[in-house]
A and B are shown apart, each in its own frame.
Chain A
């Protein structure tokens, strides 16, 4: 019994709690990302999108989840059973594992929040080689798709699997090369150190010294960022690089023969890697958890931006919910809105009350990082709603003849600048 208590108070227990919490949040966000994607794409195509299940179709993800669980799990004849079952697990596990090294906020300023003496950081683990860990997980991520295509014993999945392994191997190169500039500027593989290297400075006293525009210790990584963004979209097999599942040619590509929850696992894996890539964009090029505003007394009002967003949003949700005639619309939506608005009001009260002020301070890092992640997720959906799919030869040409040389040139230019600066 005492050893159980000792374990519950140990660092391991804290890590397990963190992992469970992160998984719960990410899987929920994944579910609502599908809703968000359908809504935004519908808006772009002048449709309504999901609106039947719950107000604004907000319960659609729950309905979809239940549907996936209760659908018949068909295993086609002649599949390689072990590999067929392994592939979705591999895809999902690797996608979720990559979240472990993403830092969602800075080390808390004093007073630290502790759990039986262990300080609570906003990351599961923070290795010195964080970025390399992410890249090694991406490198293994190919197998989920490739093996699914091979094991299904069907021609469309096989073609999808072949396409995806060729595509992911090609774009992995330019993705890795495009971040070398950032590594040179931060002088570290650690994601927290990369973010810290971008904080505390400003350009012309106003603009944040993020890697995308910063001249500090290198050149602005705009080229690197564009290369990274394009290759990362290709790595996650999303539009306009979704050839592995091109529905006009390959039915559904590598997951054609997967049904029920195994299909959902591929789906969740895809959305999770979208979140990972979006957070990498934010961390490597857009200052991670740093606020876009300069620090200093004159800019202290920006600390209350979360409340400025949360209060009107909560009030809007209340007023919107009252328009509904259903029970969920009339009662649940206003309750949620009231909750959001009161959180915002509490944070705003931090102007006068010290503990609330501290809470507001803690929330700044995650607030900015999540806003940036949200922007890039929107970008993904935006691209899906507007861009047509590339042809296969175009895809290979872009990867090998455009992105790879450009990202290598970016490395050389950045390295020359870093050398020049350090020689001065």
Chain B
């Protein structure tokens, strides 16, 4: 096995175990920590595919900003360990078959496209360089990009309005 393949399997295992841990852990902080592990190992997978910029942004935005907010809120509310109840009927009878179906579908798609492991270390892919990504963002995908920023702006203003309203009362 090449070193890249070994790293891929380690990161893949980490992200799967981390994702399972998110739902298996009882304490919200432990779940949030597992989610950080998932985010960081996904960033490692992006790095392995040669998408340096995407990997760095993944850690800065998801691993850093968003998850810090999660942890912050959990700490602020001082949320205690949650009690696990019995699975709901829907999850018991609907969830497992659906999960199996999704896994099968993904596996079939990957096998169909020739191998489940991404081409490690490739540099020709369009996501490799920061310059190419920014040119794409501001030419091909300029409308989705601007719309997304507009959406975020609206969300920020909505949050501000809600906060102000509480103050007036």
Residues of A within 8 A of B (CB): 80, 82-83, 86, 127-129, 132-133, 135-136, 138-140, 142-143, 146-147, 149-150, 158, 161-162, 165-166, 168-169, 172, 189
Q: How far, in angstroms, from A158 to B64 measured CA to CA in the complex? A: 19
Q: At the interface, yes or no: B68 with Cβ under 8 Å from chain A?
A: yes
Q: How far, in angstroms, from A307 to B57 measured CA to CA in the complex? A: 44
Sampled A-B contacts (14; CB under 8 Å): A132-B52, A132-B60, A133-B56, A136-B56, A139-B59, A140-B36, A142-B64, A143-B68, A143-B71, A146-B75, A147-B71, A158-B78, A165-B75, A169-B65
Q: How far, in angstroms, from A161 to B68 measured CA to CA in the complex? A: 11
Q: How far, in angstroms, from A296 to B63 measured CA to CA in the complex? A: 48
Q: What's the nearest-Cβ distance from chain A to residue B152, in Å? A: 14
Q: Is the CB of B75 within 8 A of A139?
A: no
Q: How far, in angstroms, from A389 to B130 measured CA to CA in the complex? A: 40
Q: Of the candidates B30, B53, B65, which one forms a contact with A129 in the assembled complex, judged by CB atoms under 8 Å apart?
A: B53
Q: Is the CB of B130 within 8 A of A142?
A: no
Residues of B within 8 A of A (CB): 27, 29-30, 33, 36, 40, 43, 52-53, 56-57, 59-60, 63-65, 68-69, 71-72, 75-76, 78, 129-130
Q: Is the CB of A165 within 8 A of B68?
A: yes
Q: Is the CB of B59 within 8 A of A140?
A: yes
Q: Is the CB of A149 within 8 A of B75?
A: yes
Chain B, Cβ-Cβ closest to A142: B68
For the residues of A in contact with B, the DSSP-based class is helix
List chain A residues, Cβ under 8 A from B43. Answer: 136
Chain A, Cβ-Cβ closest to B69: A169
List chain A residues, Cβ under 8 A from B59. Answer: 136, 139-140
Chain A, Cβ-Cβ closest to B39: A140
Q: Is the CB of B72 within 8 A of A162?
A: yes
Q: How far, in angstroms, from A133 to B40 measured CA to CA in the complex? A: 12
Q: What's the nearest-Cβ distance from chain A to residue B10, in Å? A: 17
Q: Is the CB of B72 within 8 A of A169?
A: yes
